Amino acid sequence: MTNVDVIIAGAGIWGSTLARRFAESGRKVLVLEKRRQVGGNVRCETDAETGIEIHSYGSHIFHTSLPEVWKFINRFTTFNGYQHKVLARYKGKTYFLPLGLTLVNSFFGVELTPAELPAFMADEAHSSAIFDAFFRGYTSKQWGRAPEEVDPSIIKRVPVRATYDVNYFNDYCQGIPLDGYNSIFEKLLDHSNITVRCDAGVRLENGAFKVDADDLPRVPLYYSGPVDALFDYRHGVLPWRTLKFETEKLDIADYQGTSVVNYTEAEVPYTRIHEFKHYHPELKDIMAKPKTIVMREYSAEWKLGDEPYYPIDTAQSRELLAAYKAEAEKIPNLILGGRLGAYKYFDMDKSIESALKIDIGE
């Protein structure tokens, strides 16, 4: 490990993007990944029987309006043009999200025009009804807060589309990689200047970084693991929400007719159901097979040993994060980033953008 210019701890999308940038600038890069495989939470697995690509950590849809990010990622994959739409189930009926003319007209049985929608939703009775149906129960499940603690006025701060557009994202560039998400990481890390070691978690011991019993070279280290874990939780544990999944293979061609359906009622224990074959409509043979795979997603309180997904923003968590950032600043050549290192939820394009903006001294 002596011929190393840069170390990247974590082979998720942030770390892999950085590794590629450094490698293309001529630096020797060592990528250390604590899991057995690269890809972070974007990692997928292909079911051998059906050929369906399963998003192991919940659905990931690439979407962006950032030209530099779209140009970069398209060097390593081709997207299928999938446009993400989300349905919501409430009291036995199905509605299109997000909040717009399609949802409002269907829910209330009216035929509002775009000009009429703002005044209609400004009415407290209408906004409260929408909030109770589609936000109150779902929010309580997702964040572990009792419905009574959720302020119905929040609905007035949610953007309301005065159109029938049911695309979930506004970004004009969207899609799923034709050859799967795993191939992106394989191609990003396929460079003569990059060495990848999996099952290799970085730890800090007496001011030195180690992997197993080995001291790491004292070169810049870009760390995208949990920042509190790096410092052995000396100031306390940063709070997260975690997710649990139940995956089921069914002997039918199509279970729900779309990739994601949210279940908004608090009485339904899961938040949503994913059906992965719908992400690849171009694979006609897979779509036609009389088998499908669904995944029920449950939100839960995080504890040590669980996978952290969503940081919880409170005054206490901000104070803890500041303490850990102060610790990191004491260590020369340590740079924190990514979802876990920055304690910030990033969409995939924003994670790439963050890695592209880092000054690597080219």
Q: Which of 33, 53, 275, 297 is catalytic?
A: 297
Region for residue 37 given its phi and psi (left: phi exceeds 0; alpha: psi -120 to 50; beta: otherwise): beta
In the block, which residue shows the tokens 């989300």? 86
Strand (E) or helix (H) holding 204: strand 202-205
Q: Which of 49, 148, 157, 359 is catalytic?
A: 157
Length of the chain counted residue by residue: 362
Nearest one of 47, 33, 53 to 188, comparing CA atoms = 33
Using alpha carbons, list the distances in angstroms from residue 215 to 49, 204, 205, 207, 227: 44, 10, 9, 11, 20
Q: Which of 116, 241, 310, 327 is catalytic?
A: 241
Residue 36 is among the residues annotated as catalytic for this protein: no
- Residue 98: is the preceding peptide bond cis (ω within 30°)? yes
Task: List CB contacts of 215: < 8 A, sequence separation 6 or more.
Answer: 208, 209
Count CB-CB contacts under 10 A for residue 271: 19
Which pair of tokens denotes residue 294? 């669904």
Sign of the dihedral through C-alpha 127, 130, 133, 139: negative
Buried b (16+ CB within 10 A) or exposed e, 60-80: bbbbbebeebbebbeebbebb
Residue 161 is among the residues annotated as catalytic for this protein: yes
Q: Which of 21, 161, 181, 349 is catalytic?
A: 161
Distance between CA atoms of residues 204 and 200, nearest Å: 13
Residue 218 is among the residues annotated as catalytic for this protein: no
Residue 270 is among the residues annotated as catalytic for this protein: no
Residue 345 is among the residues annotated as catalytic for this protein: yes
Distance between CA atoms of residues 218 and 214, nearest Å: 12
CA 275 to chain centre: 17
Distance between CA atoms of residues 282 and 296, nearest Å: 24
Residue 339 is among the residues annotated as catalytic for this protein: no
Residue 157 is among the residues annotated as catalytic for this protein: yes
Q: How many helices, marked H, and strands, marked E, lie in the chain?
A: 12, 19
**Terminal Cα-to-Cα distance of the chain (whole angstroms):** 23
Which positions are catalytic? 157, 161, 241, 272, 297, 345, 347
